[in-house]
Structure 1
Amino acid sequence: MTLTPATAAVRVRRAELSDLDDLVALEQATFDSDQISRAQFRRHLDSDSARVLVASANRRRFLGTAMVFFRKGSRVARLYSIASLPQARGKGVGTALIEAAEATARQRHCHMLRLEVRTDNHSAIRLYERLGYERLGPVKKRFYEDGSDAFCYAKTLD
């Protein structure tokens, strides 16, 4: 199933087991800490409480990924992780992944999507704010494995 892309060139779909090597490689290339392991990706691909999405220019050109978590009985979804290849940044990949994450949350009858972002990740913060996310509460001190702080953002979904 292809979800609505931000641009015609970027397609977002549910990740498959055959994407596992690409997911792990992107995770390792993107994050120095707080990496999702191969075993965790494998578990989330089969989980009813998670949805792993991949963005590509075509079936072979892997550009990025996002992971959304759902809690039973909750109408709030969590954008747990989002990553794109460095050469794909600024080309609509992040927007396409976030829009697909929002669509997935709506399909699961969630009314809100929440996320955390490093306080020093200015490009991600600009993207989230441009897409209508609002900062909530105080800074989450030492939220990340490396001791970095996080902002919490949320968006009400219609």
Structure 2
Amino acid sequence: MRVRRAIDGDLQALIDLETRSFATDRISPRQWRWHLESDSARVLVALHERRLVGACVMFFRKGSDLARLYSMAVAAELRGQRVGEQLLEAAEAAAQRSGCRRLRLEVRDGNAAAQRLYERNGYQRIARLPAYYADGEDGWRYEKTLSRAGAG
């Protein structure tokens, strides 16, 4: 498994993964193009045997120490095999390299597997988000304070 920054050539695989992973609240092809080219967004992809099997999108705001993990998707056949964990570790490292000390994200109330992943990796629930998603499902906001470079 390898995680790297996404490139333009990943666009169709990103769209395909998004379509297979989410029934609603999908990132559109136009948004993917924008995220790939934006200075305020970072798209990371996980590759297994040269096949894109996971992706995450992060947002940064100039002058802020807070990064946002906007979306993460893992191919169904590889869930439970640390793909999400590796993407999360890479996202945290990218946030730190960008000068961020905190990483925040939202997760669906019904996505217990993702909640366990985040909690296992030190994220704390900080807010309940009633009817947060387009289909009306509630969400949870999580945040983690990232360790400083060279710290434990």
TM-score > 0.5 by shorter chain: yes
**Of residues 72, 75, 89 in structure 2, which corresponds to 1:85?**
75
Structure-2 residue corresponding to 1:117: 107
Q: Distance in 2 between matches of 1:30 and 1:91?
A: 16
Q: Distance in 1 between matches of 2:19 and 2:53?
A: 14
Is 1:17 the equivalent of 2:2?
no
**Of residues 10, 35, 42 in structure 2, which corresponds to 1:44?**
35
The TM-score, its normalising length taken from structure 1, stands at 0.91
Structure-1 residue corresponding to 2:137: 148
Structure 1 counterpart of 2:121, one-letter code: L
Which runs of 5 or more structure 1 residues have no equivalent in the other structure? 1-9
**Of residues 29, 49, 54 in structure 1, which corresponds to 2:20?**
29
**Of residues 87, 101, 117 in structure 2, which corresponds to 1:127?**
117
Residue identity over aligned pairs, in percent, reads 53
Which runs of 5 or more structure 2 residues have no equivalent in the other structure? 148-152
Q: Secondary structure at the match of 2:134?
A: coil
Q: Secondary structure at the match of 2:39?
A: coil
Is 1:72 the equivalent of 2:62?
yes
Q: Secondary structure at the match of 1:68?
A: strand
Superposition pairs of residues 97-108 of structure 1, within 5 angstroms: 97-108=87-98
Structure-1 residue corresponding to 2:48: 57
Q: Secondary structure at the match of 1:148?
A: coil
